[in-house]
Amino acid sequence: MIASEVNSRWKACKSPHYGCRCPNHDVPRPPNEPIEVAPQHRKFASTNEYPTVDIETDIRSSIDCLASSLSTIKHIYSEIQIVRAALQAQLQELDERQQAWERRERQTREGLTAHRSLVNPVRRLPVEILHLIFSMTLEYNEPPQSSRSRTDWSNNLKFRPFSNPLWTIELVCRNWRKVVIDHRDLWTYIVVDIIPRNIESHSYSRRLARHLSRSGSHPLRVCIGHSEAVSAKKPLPDKLFYLFLSSALRITRLDLYLSINAVASLSDGVSLGLQLFALEHLVVVGDPAHDYGTVDVRSFIDCKALREVQLYNVPCVDSTIGLPDSVRKVIVEDNTVSGVPSPDDDLDGPASDEIARLFNVAGIRHAAVDICIHRESETISPRELSLLTLDISARSGEGARAFIDSIAAPELQEFAFAFIGDEYIAGHEPLQDFASDFNDCQILVDIHSFVDRSHCSLTTLRLIDVEPNLVSLEALLSLLPGLLHFGLHQRDDLFDVVDMLCTRAPEGLYPIPGLRSLELKGDFVGWDLARLARRIGAGIPLENVLILWESPASYEKAVLDCEEVMCASKNTPEIKVRAMVV
């Protein structure tokens, strides 16, 4: 029965309203007038006097009338009960039909969805698009990035045993399963969580073996770590070595989130036949709260394809460490410098002399190092390196000085130096002693000597939290006529620096007239900003200017004061300077 039929039958009695109003189906309404004793009879209600014959006849007539009405009411009431029962039966039938129509609606919607799915555009996606989508579902353990905040840096030290979603994707349909299995490059990232219950589990080992077989002959990236605390003295299990024996020659990147003893046990794997001749990228993330002693990565000395080595939280780099001549990039960073150490962490990270010995490969082109301490040792003669970029973060002024004095880099193009001596570390004493040690070290003089000794032509120089001794800074910048990018970050005001840049020469920024990018961070005032804006606007070909504040209040005041100064100055060219609060 369709809706129009239901509607027409409901109005079959030609009623102007919904529902039946015809005499055959109308339920009588009771009269509205009240039933009371007649006024002339009320006096007998309050006495025992018997009414007269005429009055009695009149009263008995009323009694007969009311009795007849009561009989009629009982009949009508019984009829109403019959109608109510019939209506309840009809309502029950209506409920059943409504439920039936609701079931039919669900079935119709399901059928509509099923038919639409048959022509869904996802069925027409090319295999290449499905492959791209599936590859984007994979998650990776990535090492810390020094460009991020210190908190993010520390958080990235944690090993995360990401589950591979491909095992679930392949269960959707045969087509998706075929795409997942046929594209073996989707299976080239393998995460191994070496907690005891996984190593002892046959199903976990079988899953790893299937994962390896599905990767075919593609290069592998293997990440090994433990999601739960394990003994720092426990080596890697032999079962793991045997599992990777047949695939070792395909491993091009190895990420190790392990204790130093576990890393050292790789030499046992080599003795079992685990050869990593194709290894190009090595990442070692140690645990400073539990690692003691030195790391010995001589197991990788025969990896002639190794190009990049990243060591994070390695407590002490052994002087006997050996890297193949193929290495081109080295990163050594520590949580006490780049991250946020916990109160349990040992603050004695890599020392300057040990870092210097690590650079025994003349072919290293890119380096980023954290220097925590300096130990008295024999003087190391400066070695000439082929570095193109060098990024140093130091917590010890003497350590930074010792490292810089031990190298020369004639091909160096980009140099960055950051000092964190005035940082406070939770649970430890403030590092004010390091700050005074750093100032006595006169690091700008040491950097000047390093640049002069190297005879390099720097194009990029960034100095972060370095005491800007104006004489030393001017002497350093004067050595770099080809400098294109200059950045200076400090916590105090930059009045002297702005004064040097804007007033020592009739035009341009002294002493770096060819500068293309300028980045300054400090406590600016409106006058400094106005002078800098006027000088930049006077025809200097700068492509990027970035001014940074730490305090929103000082930023707002400086910009307001700058606007007042600029408005008071006539014929001031317009200059667009990116200013932001960090």
| Cβ(298)–Cβ(321) below 8 Å | yes
Q: What is the predicted pLDDT for the residue at 146?
A: 67
Q: What is the mean pLDDT of residues 97-108?
A: 94
Q: Please return the burial class of 237, using the count of CB atoms within 10 Å of its CB with bins 0-12, 13-18 and 19+.
A: middle
First to last CA, the chain: 70
pLDDT of amino acid 582: 47
Burial (CB < 10 A; 0-12, 13-18, 19+), residue 548, is middle
The Cα–Cα gap between 180 and 513 comes to 57
Is residue 578 within 8 A of residue 548, CB to CB? The reply is no
3-state SS, residue 132: helix
Query: For 7-11, 77-81, 186-190, which range has the lowest pLDDT when averaged over its residues?
Result: 7-11
273: pLDDT strictly greater than 70: no
Neighbours of 396 (CB within 10 A): 25
Which of the given ranges, 147-156, 264-273, 387-396, 428-437, has the highest pLDDT on average?
387-396
Are 291 and 315 within 8 A, CB to CB?
yes
DSSP 8-state code for residue 299: G
8 A C-beta contact, residue 326 and residue 307: yes
- Residue count (the chain): 582
Compute how many other C-beta atoms are within 10 angstroms of the C-beta atom of residue 566: 17
**pLDDT tens for each residue of 440-472:** 447 888 899 999 999 998 999 999 888 778 888
pLDDT band for position 49 (50/70/90)?
A: confident
Please tell me which residue, 581 or 398, carries the higher pLDDT value: 398
Count H helices, E strands: the chain?
A: 20, 16
Pick the range with the lowest mean pLDDT from 2-6, 212-216, 504-508: 2-6
Quickly state the pLDDT bin for 104 (edges 50, 70, 90): very high
Tally of CA atoms within 13 A in the half-sphere of 123 that contains its CB: 8
Structure confidence at residue 321 (pLDDT)? 53
- pLDDT at residue 553 above 60? no
User: Is the confidence at residue 434, as pLDDT, over 50?
Assistant: no
- Strand-strand pairing, 389-394 and 407-408: unpaired
Q: Is residue 368 pLDDT above 60, yes or no? A: yes
Question: Percent of the chain at pLDDT above 70?
Answer: 71
In this model, does residue 162 exceed pLDDT 90?
no
How is residue 344 annotated by DSSP?
A: T
In angstroms, the CA 463 to CA 335 distance is: 20
Two structure tokens written together for 108: 């119709």
Name the 3-class secondary structure at 310. Answer: strand
Position with higher pLDDT, 135 vs 59: 135
Residue 243 has a pLDDT of 82
Lowest-confidence range among 281-285, 496-500, 502-506, 512-516? 502-506
Model pTM? 0.72
pLDDT in tens, 288-339: 655 544 555 566 777 888 899 888 887 655 544 567 888 899 888 888 787 7
| Residue among 364, 366, 461, 359 at smallest CA distance from 414 | 461
Q: In the predicted model, what is the mean pLDDT of the chain?
A: 77
Find, among 252, 263, 373, the residue nearest to 303 by Cα: 252
Is the per-residue pLDDT at 239 higher than 60?
A: yes
Taking 80 as the threshold, does the pLDDT of residue 140 lie above it? yes
The dihedral built from the CA positions of residue 450, 456, 457 and 459, taken in this order, carries a sign that is negative
* C-beta atoms surrounding 58 within 10 Å: 14
Distance CA 390, CA 331 (A): 10
Q: How large is the average pLDDT for residues 414-421?
A: 85
The mean pLDDT value for 169-184 works out to: 91
Q: Which of 10-19, 162-171, 294-303, 560-569 has the highest mean pLDDT?
A: 162-171
Highest mean pLDDT among 233-242, 333-342, 392-401, 443-452 belongs to 443-452
**More reliable by pLDDT, 419 or 375:** 419
Residues pairing with 224 in the sheet: 192, 256
Comparison of pLDDT for 13 and 203, the residue scoring more: 203
In the structure, what pLDDT confidence band is assigned to residue 266 with cuts at 50, 70 and 90?
A: confident
Distance CA(49)–CA(202), nearest Å, equals 110
pLDDT of residue 108: 94
User: Cis ω on the peptide bond leading into residue 511 (within 30° of 0)?
Assistant: yes
Span 333-364, pLDDT tens digits? 888 787 777 655 555 666 666 676 677 666 88
Query: Quick one: CA dihedral 391, 397, 400, 404, positive or negative?
Result: positive
CA 408 → CA 317, 381, 402, 421, distances in Å? 21, 10, 12, 25
Enumerate residues 6+ apart whose C-beta is below 8 A from 253. 220, 221, 222, 279, 280, 281, 282, 283
* pLDDT the model gives residue 1: 42
pLDDT at 54 over 70: yes
What is the C-alpha to C-alpha distance for residues 61 and 52, in angstroms, rounded to an integer? 14
Angle formed by the axes of helices 174-182 and 127-135, nearest 10°: 70
285: three-class secondary structure by DSSP? strand
Q: How far is CA 320 from CA 116, 126, 136, 296, 317, in A?
A: 67, 53, 41, 7, 8
534-556 average pLDDT score? 68
**Average of pLDDT values for 498-512?**
78
- Of the listed ranges 7-16, 131-140, 165-174, 215-224, the one predicted with least confidence: 7-16
Torsion over CA: 499, 504, 509, 512 (sign) = negative
Closest C-alpha to 27, from 64, 77, 101, 65: 77
Least confident range from 120-124, 146-150, 297-301, 421-425: namely 421-425
- Residue 109's pLDDT is 94
CB 20 within 8 A of CB 13: yes
521: Cα separation from own chain's centroid = 26
Average pLDDT of span 556-570: 52
Contact by Cβ (8 Å): 510, 500: yes
Q: With contact defined as beta carbons under 8 Å apart, do 386 and 411 qualify?
A: yes
For the chain, how long is the longest CA-to-CA vector?
148
Does residue 240 contact residue 224 with C-beta atoms inside 8 Å? Answer: yes
d(CA 259, CA 225): 9
Residue 580 in this model has a pLDDT that exceeds 70: no
